Structure 1
Amino acid sequence: MWRRLAGLLLVFAAATAALWLLSSRLSAGQARRPLRFPSDLEELRELAEALRDYERQHGGAALALFCAAYLYKQSFAIPGSSLLNVLAGALFGPWTGLVLCSALTSVGATFCYLLSGAFGKQFVVYYFPDKVALLQRKVEENRSCLFFFLLFLRLFPMTPNWFLNLSAPILNIPVSQFFFSVLIDRSHSVTNHLFGCHFLLGHTAQTACDGCGSIDTRDPHQEIQQEALEAG
């Protein structure tokens, strides 16, 4: 049991170090600020501006860092992916952001599934015996229509998604059904991307959101005053 814990901690430490090194190398802006996960909308706007600036100078760098950060959160069941969903809408546009986040969520959740299967089965059963037993009964009752039952659990959760990701290998859920149930479930998040794209672009420079159409953020009263001054 302790060997499994040591193995999980080693994987987590290696992933954290790799993400930190990538973030340090791809630090954005002239001040070379280290990038970090946003904790509120204000930090999210600042991060969006920093990544846009860096993306204009080094194509693909922001995408690489975003993908690495998203997979890190999903793989280790770390909360806060909703802010990254909004960030994706602002950086890449709502539809590209939707496709990107759906794919990353599915891959990251599958990594979490595999890590739990390799290192965490005993810990999940030890710390959550009642929840695991309840899910086990429900899965066995719906084994004949397991894929649709998984979709139901995602859309109308009786347990948090992170716990479902951790307990899935214990419940003998095939990884293929697990992956596609997560992928289909993410389609409803398009509203988050649309909201995030328009919200962030309303407070920052208009870039990166071709899918949202043209957004005019100019003040017409200031333009009229400027024209009057020029005419005078």
Structure 2
Amino acid sequence: MLLIVAALAWLIGTWRTALTAVLAMAAIGVLGVWNPSLDTLSQVLAAVAVTLVIGFATGVAAARSDRFERLLRPVLDVFQTMPQFVYLIPVVALFGVGRAPAVAAAVVYALPAVVRITAQGLRQVDPAALESARSLGATGAQQLRQVQLPLARPALLLAVNQGVVLVLAVVIIGGLVGEGALGYDVVFGLAQGDLATGLVAGAAIVCLGLMLDRVTQPTERRTAKGA
């Protein structure tokens, strides 16, 4: 697991990025909460995958249609201003208590940011590049696939990073609806006054967040090289 984290962090960053990510994962093992941490990580990755699929598709549609973007804007504003606890009410009503409502709440919480960043990144692509593609006979799909998405890569990577961070922020909230793993340990520690359990679980969540941030956020050197 440490080798996988190191490889991913090295591919997208530098050796310092890889070292930070590996130390964060190693700290989880030292804390003795490896199994619940991987359980939490699996749920976070599942929520992030769903968030990115829906968020990228919606962001692309919003970037290509002004009317759709105007209709979507108030919906995103409402989702971004609602407290995290409010998301639990409808998802628990739909899915009951368990991991599914926790993942669904995380997706709804992180989705607005991913949609906005994706749409903004695509809209800020150099118009001259798009005009050149059109003059060469590129279709709308070809412009999106071969011009807009490559040029908007930094914004898309930022959307991935923000999606990961926001999904992880709902882990503790998910512990209230049967998510288990680290979220449950934090809630249990708060409810029972068990400082050791809650503090260790909280530290493990911080380490997970640090590792995921390093793996999904490219450094300036690598970004410039890729550009």
Shorter-chain TM-score: which interval? under 0.3
Q: Which structure dedicates a bigger proportion of its chain to helix?
A: 2
Using CA pairs under 8 Å that are at least 6 residues apart, name the structure with larger relative contact order, 1 or 2.
Answer: 2
Q: TM-score, normalization: structure 2?
A: 0.26
Q: TM-score, normalization: structure 1?
A: 0.26
Larger-Rg structure: 1
